[in-house]
């Protein structure tokens, strides 16, 4: 019996076979990342993969049977994957896993387009918590949808193919930045300065001298997508960092990518529901709007998840309240991994570490645990047993040192439904930066954790 607790490094513990599995798993993850830059992208990728895995569309008015596999895409931005097990759902509840698939980015304003000094721009409004200076002077891609008059929907994705152009937000040259450099970091780049350059070729012979570049860009957009300027008012378009997920390090032990938060948890939970052979009924959710408070029809504060649970319960004549109270949930979200370069932001005995496995957070929140789910000891005990019984290497920690800041996840919204919930995720470095860093060992361990939870 070990009297002392020591954190384990997954790479040190792994034998040759497991190391191979870790690297293999990460190839699928990188592909998923590259097709899932927005919540719409992630939901569509998951829907396609669900179809390939034998899942069929779900309806609130259907009666589910044991063995059914269903998917419900909520407004294109939030997907529910359901696998009905043979256990009595009233007594056994549902094994629920929730990750979010929205990530910090730059949304377009409703009237985004203007021209100044020979360049055409789109104005943005940032979405989620970002350090604004990180989003300048780098290649950006444009993703989203535009509704045309009459209901036709145009999908736009420009900047991801290597032959595509990209978009660009300028920063001030250091030679002239004495004033800017004296400002605090949060003020150095103003929110209203996050304007992306989208064109510079004037329309020759345009009467409107002041807006001849804008006219030319609008012509291009109209030719390609049939849109006019007013259509931006009925669109959801955003700029995200252009480019693909990449291995990091000579050994390729890590992955840098846009949107690890929280696709690094969404992918393992999705793979787990596909791969598990479980007697339990399992529900995997890709949530939207987590980065802005989980509100709205596609966020986890919406009633939709209760409706899905109720539909499952009603299918078997089970009491939906009993089903909820007997359900268990993993809120699969990232946490801040210990970063030795910024050690003062962390308490090293209670931090999670890169490559040390799935990160379990009993609570999140800020200051005196404000706004936290705080999983009960009994549920922590349950989670420990299933992870330890199934060879899951896991660790636990807080999101940074006390009073340094804080954060939350969707855990509290699931907890509020009377469902035991705990945060289990992956430690991330440079969270919310355009390019975030994770370990291949940790995303694989989260997959094993999700599989153990479904089992
Ligand atoms: Mn997150
Ligand atoms: Mn986040």
pLDDT tens profile 101-136: 999 999 999 999 999 999 999 999 999 999 999 999
- Percentage of residues in the chain having pLDDT higher than 90: 98
**379 burial level (CB within 10 Å; 0-12, 13-18, 19+):** middle
Q: Which ligand is nearest to the CA of 333?
A: 1
Those residues whose beta carbon sits under 5 angstroms from the ion ligand 2 are 261
Give the chain's length: 455
DSSP 395: E
- pLDDT bracket for residue 209 (50, 70, 90): confident
Q: Is 451 a residue whose pLDDT tops 90?
A: yes
Q: From the CA of 262, how far away is ligand 1's center (Å)? A: 5
DSSP state of 203: P
In this predicted model, what pLDDT tens digit does every residue of 422-432 receive, in sequence order? 999 999 999 99
- Dump pLDDT digits (tens) for 234-253: 999 999 999 999 999 999 99
Tokens of 405: 């800041």
Alpha carbons 422 and 109: distance in angstroms, whole number: 36
Q: How many angstroms is it from 68 CA to the middle of ligand 1?
A: 30
Phi, psi (5° rounding) for residue 99? -125, 160
Ligand 1 centroid – CA 376 distance (Å) = 21
Is the preceding omega at residue 377 within 30 degrees of 0, hence cis?
Answer: no
- Ligand 1 centre and the CA of 354: distance in Å? 17
Q: Cα–Cα distance between 183 and 246 in angstroms, integer?
A: 33
Backbone angles phi, psi at 272, to 5 degrees: -65, -45
Ligand with minimal distance to 101 CA: 1
| Residue of 227, 40, 237, 229 lying closest to 148 (CA atoms) | 227
What pLDDT does residue 163 have?
Answer: 97
Centroid of ligand 2 to alpha carbon of 394 (angstroms): 21
DSSP 371: T
Q: Distance between CA atoms of 413 and 77, rounded to whole angstroms?
A: 18
DSSP state of 151: S
Res 273: pLDDT: 98
CA distance 175 to 195: 21
Between the CA of 226 and the centroid of ligand 2 the distance, in Å, is 35
């Amino acid at each position: 019996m070990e009297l002392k607790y020591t954190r384990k490094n997954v790479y040190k513990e792994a034998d040759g076979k497991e190391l191979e599995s870790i690297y293999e798993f990460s190839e699928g993850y990188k592909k998923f990342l590259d097709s899932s830059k927005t919540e719409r992208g992630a939901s569509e990728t998951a829907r396609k993969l669900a179809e390939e895995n034998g899942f069929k569309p779900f309806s609130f008015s259907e009666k589910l049977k044991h063995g059914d596999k269903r998917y419900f895409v909520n407004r294109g931005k939030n997907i529910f994957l359901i696998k009905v097990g043979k256990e009595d759902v009233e007594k056994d509840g549902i094994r629920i896993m929730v990750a979010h698939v929205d990530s910090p980015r730059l949304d377009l304003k409703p009237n985004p387009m203007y021209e100044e000094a020979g360049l055409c721009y789109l104005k943005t409004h940032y979405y989620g918590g970002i350090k604004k200076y990180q989003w300048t002077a780098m290649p950006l891609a444009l993703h989203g949808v535009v509704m045309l008059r009459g209901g036709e929907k145009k999908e736009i994705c420009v900047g991801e193919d290597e032959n595509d152009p990209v978009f660009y937000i300028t920063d001030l040259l250091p030679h002239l930045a004495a004033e800017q450099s004296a400002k605090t970091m949060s003020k150095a780049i103003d929110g209203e300065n996050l304007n992306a350059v989208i064109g510079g070729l004037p329309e020759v012979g345009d009467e409107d001298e002041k807006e001849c570049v804008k006219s030319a860009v609008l012509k291009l957009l109209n030719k390609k997508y049939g849109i006019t300027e007013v259509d931006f008012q009925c669109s959801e378009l955003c700029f995200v960092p252009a480019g693909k997920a990449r291995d990091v390090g000579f050994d390729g032990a890590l992955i840098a990518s846009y949107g690890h938060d929280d696709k690094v948890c969404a992918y393992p939970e999705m793979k787990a529901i596909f791969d598990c052979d479980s007697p339990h009924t399992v529900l995997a959710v890709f949530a939207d709007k987590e980065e802005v408070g989980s509100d709205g029809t596609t966020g986890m504060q919406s009633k939709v998840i209760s409706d899905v649970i109720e539909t499952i319960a009603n299918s078997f004549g089970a009491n939906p309240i009993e089903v909820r109270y007997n359900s268990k949930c993993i809120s699969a979200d990232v946490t801040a991994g210990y970063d030795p370069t910024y050690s003062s932001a962390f308490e090293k005995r209670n931090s999670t570490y890169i490559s040390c496995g799935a990160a379990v957070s009993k609570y999140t929140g800020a200051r005196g645990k404000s706004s936290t789910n705080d999983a009960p000891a009994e549920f922590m005990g349950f989670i420990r047993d299933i992870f330890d019984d199934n060879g899951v290497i896991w660790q636990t920690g807080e999101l940074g040192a006390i009073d340094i800041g804080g954060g939350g996840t969707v855990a509290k919204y699931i907890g509020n439904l009377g469902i035991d919930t705990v945060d289990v995720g992956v430690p991330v470095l440079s969270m919310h930066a355009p390019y975030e860093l994770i370990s291949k060992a940790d995303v694989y361990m989260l997959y094993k954790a999700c599989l153990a939870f479904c089992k």
